[in-house]
Amino acid sequence: MKAARFLSDEELIRQAAELLIEKLGEVEAFRFFALPQKERQDSVTRHRIWQESLNKDAFFREVFD
């Protein structure tokens, strides 16, 4: 079994960019890089939103039946 080796952040970005350009072409790769990032939602806020939409009885039936 071969030992795992982590790439530096710079090398990871370079290799990933090269692969994207190779597989997608320059235009699509740069489009990918330019996609807007979704704003991260706080995990507590995300959990509260999930709880508000939760049907407790259906959830318990699914988990415990």
pLDDT tens by residue, 11-42? 999 999 999 999 999 999 999 999 988 888 88
> pTM for the complete prediction?
0.49
Domain boundaries, the chain: 8-35
pLDDT recorded at residue 39: 81
pLDDT recorded at residue 41: 80
Nearest to 35 by CA among 46, 49, 20: 20
pLDDT recorded at residue 37: 82
Nearest to 19 by CA among 38, 6, 11: 11
Nearest to 7 by CA among 23, 16, 18, 29: 16
- Residue 52, pLDDT > 70, answer yes
User: Tokens at residue 59, please?
Assistant: 């959830």
Q: Which residue has the higher pLDDT, 5 or 16?
A: 16
